[in-house]
Amino acid sequence: MSDLMQTFPVKRIIEHGPGVKSFYFDRMTDAVAGQFVNVWLPGIDEKPYSVSALGEDWLEISVKAYGVFSGAMMKLKVGDLVGIRGPFGKGFTFRDNALIIGGGIGIAPLRILARELSERNFRFVSLLGAATAHEVIFVDDFRRRSSNCYVTTDDGTLGKKGLVTDDLLEIIKKEKIEFVYAAGPEIMFVKIKELIDPLGIAYEFCLERYMKCGIGICGQCTLDGSGIRLCVEGPVLNQDDLKAVTELGLPHRDASGRRV
Ligand SMILES: Cc1cc2nc3c(=O)[nH]c(=O)nc-3n(C[C@H](O)[C@H](O)[C@H](O)COP(=O)(O)OP(=O)(O)OC[C@H]3O[C@@H](n4cnc5c(N)ncnc54)[C@H](O)[C@@H]3O)c2cc1C
Ligand code: FES
């Protein structure tokens, strides 16, 4: 696969619950955990989505409905043609004794990470949270692969009622965690960072920004303070990369490139 757009039919769709679906295509590319593909719906737009799993002959992305594009994704049917280019970006590194923290649809890139860690026989614990039960996607897969899997939901429909950060320090201590991976809302990264920076634990976060080219040309996804182009030097950034970033958890560029 390359940065040139090609079209592929949707092979299968799983509906996790209202507004959350996984889409399957023929495996058109390799990808490592954390990398993303740009998906094009003709006449609508092109948006980045993490590769959430790879099988021998299939590639999966998982989408939550927010606005126009993801709303249109929800209307796709098996056999519909979708443009895909990629994979793009830099993925996660593989570490032992890690904690995987996923918030909402941020769980998507962690599903492929969990597979890659377990295939390497690395020990890891999962801590997954979302607004409600069906948004904790593929929870059984995480339960099977992790040495322990903690779940929280905002409404208490699965696991403990609350946020993934509520018991974070206790879990890190109890599970003897040496490294943290996270993907989810940016406010979650801010809180995790605040809690674990004093412990000196290293981490990698999978960030999101409005992207256009996906290949480092347009500058749309550049992070203030650092000059990091998230589509090339990210979307996975570590604690050292993040030291220079001045916009974590703050308003950032809109579709026009303007800061909002
Ligand atoms: C590298 C990368 C990987 C991504 N991977 C995934 C993925 O695996 N699955 C997925 O569903 N999306 C993923 N996204 C987000 C995706 O590209 C779109 O931005 C998202 O689907 C919303 O697009 P939209 O046009 O439907 O909504 P927009 O019109 O862009 O947004 C509508 C409203 O929802 C808000 N919104 C948009 N996204 C989020 C969010 N994630 N959390 C909270 N509010 C939000 C916006 O601020 C806006 O107010 C990824 C983004 C990047 C940069
Ligand atoms: S999206 Fe164009 S440089 Fe990143």
* Domains in the chain: ranges and CATH: 6-88 (2.40.30.10), 98-206 (3.40.50.80)
Summarised one tens digit per residue, pLDDT across range 152-197 is 999 999 999 999 999 999 999 999 999 999 999 999 999 999 999 9
Distance 63 CA to ligand 2 centre (A): 21
The average confidence (pLDDT) of the chain is 96
Identify which of 35, 88, 212, 256 to mutate to test ligand 2's pocket (most ligand atoms within 8 A of the CB).
212
- Across residues 93-113, what is the average pLDDT? 98
- Taking Cα atoms as reference points, which of 188, 195, 187 lies closest to residue 169? 195
Burial of 47 (0-12, 13-18, 19+ CB in 10 A): buried
**b/e 223-242 (16+ beta carbons within 10 angstroms → b):** beebebbbbbbbbbbebebb
What CA dihedral angle connects 88, 90, 94 and 97, to 10 degrees?
-110
Query: Is residue 195 helix, strand or coil?
Result: helix
Ligand nearest to the CA of 47: 1
- Taking Cα atoms as reference points, which of 141, 223, 149 lies closest to residue 186? 223
| pLDDT value for 233 | 97
| pLDDT value for 1 | 61
The reply to whether ligand 2 has any atom less than 6 angstroms from the CB of 210 is no
Closest Cα to atom 13 of ligand 1: 49
**Can you give the C-alpha Rg of the chain in angstroms?**
17
The DSSP bridge pattern shows strands 236-238 and 202-206 to be antiparallel
Asked if residue 83 lies in contact with residue 5, where contact means CB atoms within 8 angstroms, the answer is yes
Residue 230 has pLDDT above 70, yes or no: yes
Ligand nearest to the CA of 75: 1
Residue 260 has pLDDT above 80, yes or no: no
User: Which residues share a beta bridge with 181?
Assistant: 100, 204
| pLDDT value for 3 | 80
Query: Is residue 99 helix, strand or coil?
Result: strand
Distance 214 CA to ligand 2 centre (A): 5
| pLDDT value for 254 | 83
Asked if residue 143 lies in contact with residue 119, where contact means CB atoms within 8 angstroms, the answer is no
- Across residues 1-7, what is the average pLDDT? 83
Residue 151 has pLDDT above 70, yes or no: yes
